[in-house]
Structure 1
Amino acid sequence: MVVRQDTHGRYSLNDLHRAAGLEDRHQPAYFLRNDGVRALIEEVQSANLQTAPVEAVNGGPNRGTYACRTVALRYAAWISAPFEFKVYKVLEDYLDGRLVPATPALPSGYIDALEALVVAEKEKLRLSEVATQQAQQLEAQGRVIEEQRPAMEFLERFVKAKGSAGVRRVAKGINRRQNDLVRDLLRDRVLYYEGRHLVPFAKYQDKGYFVVKLGEKNGHAFTHARFTSAGVQWAAARYGREAPCESAARLLPAAPQPAAQLPLLPESTQP
């Protein structure tokens, strides 16, 4: 005998009716019309106001009438004494641990469908995570491109201009501090000081990275190094930083200017 229970632990009177032989005169509806049964239900209800002692489910796979244990046992007694004894016997075996409630087996087709659904949901979640990671990577790449754009525009415009630029302008264009760039150029023996001004070693001047310009200040003539377009590309590749600190494209003049009009290195950069 299998008697279903609802979520509140109430027993199916329809299952008890079926176990008793399904006689028409033993229908749960007739039982619930009994005055004594109604009085019992009222007593049970007054003792437990949270859950109704009897409830009818009109639709779905679990439709039927469900009653608390007290009312269900009264129903078994109302049907017949022998049936009441059988119900009490089953209840005793269950309470004593000699009877394990039966767990209804799910159809194999349902289990297969459920497993397929779980696999599909896992794959959907995986693809969603992959798509999110790819979107984040593309966004990060886009930010890097946007950050590098000013320095790249500076280099492109300078190369097209076919002019020359001083150390200060090149340092800004490749996102380096001027003093740091000068320090690196001195360390690598690319430039050296001649008096107060920087001039290139012959090796790098011969490679076309620098030109030496003549200038005049306070009546004194001097020479100083300026980067060519090839020198700017070389310096960017060797000493440049990835993320520019400002728009380097604005640092390049529209046309080459005379050396005397360009800013010189401050005296503090002397060795």
Structure 2
Amino acid sequence: MSSLVVADTQVNTDSEGRYCLNDLHKAAGGLSQHQPAKYFSNQQAQNLISEIGEHAVTRIRGRGKAQGTYVVEELVYAYAMWISPSFNLKVLRAYKQLQTQGIAVADHAAADLLANPLVYLERVLEQAKQLEAANRIAVAERNVAVNTIAKVSRTLKEVGRKLPNVNLNKLPSSLLKLGYFYRGSDGTYRVYRSKSHLFSEKFIEHKGWNVITPTEQGIQLQR
């Protein structure tokens, strides 16, 4: 996937092709009144998210460059228009250029590109290498997920069968009601510390969510 560049700022994407709103905020000037959190606090944004569906927004936590809030294309345009019509126009033009030519050049960088084409070519090649490596990793992780998700789900259900008052069709919410899980501030399921001997959690940074599996002691419940 080619990179979207707005106002000389590269806008990162996640494995699902969503765009980093934090990068767009930076491209717009980084003013505090334009922070993504403030955009999401308005009702119009919430209505649009509800209309698009739960896949519209995801958050990647951690300390790497990938951390941030990622949104689908429709929300990119809506966020840009919320900032200003002129910024929305910059985003529209950058995206159009990306789609038609595969690479977008900021207006103010055009002269420098013509004067120093090799410098820009090196940057593009480096980005291409990074994207190719990221794609290979994403494919490998997707294959691993396909092979393991059924096993993890089955094991959780087997443990759930040994716990009283658990609805196996709504396993996470049932375990939440019974005091095994709770919802974090970002809406993800977390394991109570007092139940960590039964369930463990691992944060998948590039996906932005926790994977919960039973521990060896938790598995013993099914035996």
Please say whether Structure 1 and Structure 2 have the same fold, judged by a TM-score greater than 0.5. no
Q: Which has the larger radius of gyration?
A: 1
* Structure with bigger RCO (C-alpha 8 Å, 6+ apart): 2
Could you say which TM-score interval applies, normalised by the shorter chain?
0.3 to 0.5
Normalised TM-score (structure 1): 0.35
* TM-score normalised by length of structure 2: 0.43
